[in-house]
Structure 1
Amino acid sequence: MARSTFELDARGYLGVREQLALLSLPPQLRRRLLNNVTKRVRTMSRKRARDQQNLDGSPFEARKGPAKGKKKMEAGLAKLMIVTRVSADEAELGWRNALTSWVAAQQHNGVSERRTAAQMRKWNTVPVGLAATEKQAKRLRRLGFKVRQKGKKSLSRPSVAWIQEHVNYSKAGLLIRILGDEKAESSGAQSWEIPLPKRQFIGVSTERDTGLLLNQVLQQILNSPR
């Protein structure tokens, strides 16, 4: 699977003097450094999504199909970004939800990847009160969403009630985007091929910019009262 996370190890970006200063810090301050830098990267990434720009400053490729010209692309994904892992040595920015992370990887890397109904079902555990709305369920049916239901040998279009029972609100929204916005094509009613252009808003533009950001936050921590 293509990756969409931003992973940070400060040791790969600092000069010798800065590296020695970093190593002199206690673990909790090194952790604070990586956490602060990763959150700044999240802010930068969200701004790119708002501005509809890739890492290199180029504009996102426009949508195709019925959603062309509607709400900003990747805005929902950007809002859901969190620091998923942070220690004294490494940090990671991404998404905890498996389906959200997969969709982000598709968008960021522009990789066409086939997903089967069976794989989709593994994500469909719905906590009480978080089910898909009736409107979402009906939209999924119109878009051709199919699954293999218990007791049936072949894939079929589930009922509105089945979708509300097995698909939660956020995942229904992502599935609607996958199946609708980019003209996802049904393949033998068993899987979907999702071709996407690269829309690379996650991370830092260059390694030099990453180093500058790390140094800036490191100096703030070194100069702050402890």
Structure 2
Amino acid sequence: MLSVQDQLALLKLPPQLRRRLLNRVSKRVRTLSNKRIRAQQNLDGTPFVPRKRKEPGQKRMEAGLGKLLQVTRVDQDEAVLGWRNGLTSWVAAQQHNGASERRTSRQMRKWNKVEPGAKSTPKQAKRLRRLGFRVRQEGKKRLTRPPVAWILEHVSFMQAGLLIRVLDEEQGETTGAESWEIKLPKRQFLGASAQESSALVAQVMEQIIHSPR
């Protein structure tokens, strides 16, 4: 990605300065990646595939991935930009590369570590409200949509899961099956294009060569 002249200059740099160059370039790539998340754009400038249903927090999740992105390893020959936590890295890879996986109700209960009698989660409570869940609360004659706090106190995790499935079916949103296919389209926010990479390396190289040693 460098001109011949710059390549020769790079070979003359001591290991410490080569490490500095890779570290700075990686941090600028991190900045570019976060800009793409905010703009909801892929590496090639195209917009992310729209979600079928806009759930609160989905964009925040991508922003959270961006905030955790960091240079995890750097030496005189290579720099790695990524995540230190293995689970976070897996989630980011699913978002960036796209995925298609089958999930079952049993898996989800296990992963959520649901104990018998566990209360519903805030996510479930908010989902129930969006689906129009109504109950007859004490002191009220008509069915009303209960607040999140009421659902968290009175509806168990298992009850909430069943109610969500039933309400989804009524609205034609799911099949109510015990297993389902989760498909994530590619949302390629990580990295830099060849043109961006070339410009970044040349720019930082110029600064490294002319900066005080």
SS of the equivalent of 2:73 reads strand
Q: Structure 1 unaligned runs (5+)?
A: 1-12, 125-133, 144-158, 161-182
In structure 2, C-alpha distance between the alignment counterparts of 1:107 and 1:81, rounded to whole Å: 14
What amino acid is aligned across from residue 79 of structure 2 in structure 1?
A
Aligned to 2:202: 215
**TM-score, scaled to structure 2:** 0.63
Structure 1 segment 7-22 matched on structure 2, within 5 A: 13-22=1-10
Structure 1 residue 87 corresponds to structure 2 residue 89: no
User: Sequence identity of aligned pairs in percent?
Assistant: 60
Structure 1 residue 108 corresponds to structure 2 residue 108: no
Shift, 1:219, TM fit: 0.8
Aligned to 1:50: 38
* 1:179-209 Cα distance to aligned partner (Å, 9 max, x none): xxxx9999856xx74311111111112x232
Structure 1 segment 138-157 matched on structure 2, within 5 A: 139=123
CA change 1:68–1:25 in 2 (3 A) is same
The answer to whether the 8 A contact 1:41-1:204 is kept is yes
In structure 2, C-alpha distance between the alignment counterparts of 1:135 and 1:52, rounded to whole Å: 35
Aligned Cα RMSD in Å? 3.5
The answer to whether the 8 A contact 1:184-1:193 is kept is no
In structure 2, C-alpha distance between the alignment counterparts of 1:76 and 1:68, rounded to whole Å: 14
Aligned to 1:78: 66
Number of aligned positions between the proteins = 162
CA change 1:215–1:184 in 2 (3 A) is farther
SS of the equivalent of 2:48 reads coil
In structure 2, C-alpha distance between the alignment counterparts of 1:198 and 1:185, rounded to whole Å: 25
CA change 1:53–1:184 in 2 (3 A) is farther
Aligned to 1:176: none
Shift, 1:142, TM fit: 10
SS of the equivalent of 2:81 reads strand
What amino acid is aligned across from residue 24 of structure 2 in structure 1?
N
CA change 1:69–1:104 in 2 (3 A) is closer
| Structure richer in helix, relative to its length | 2
Shift, 1:141, TM fit: 10
CA change 1:142–1:208 in 2 (3 A) is closer
Aligned to 1:27: 15
Aligned to 1:199: 187
In structure 2, C-alpha distance between the alignment counterparts of 1:30 and 1:184, rounded to whole Å: 54
What amino acid is aligned across from residue 213 of structure 1 in structure 2?
L
Q: Structure 2 unaligned runs (5+)?
A: 128-155, 158-172
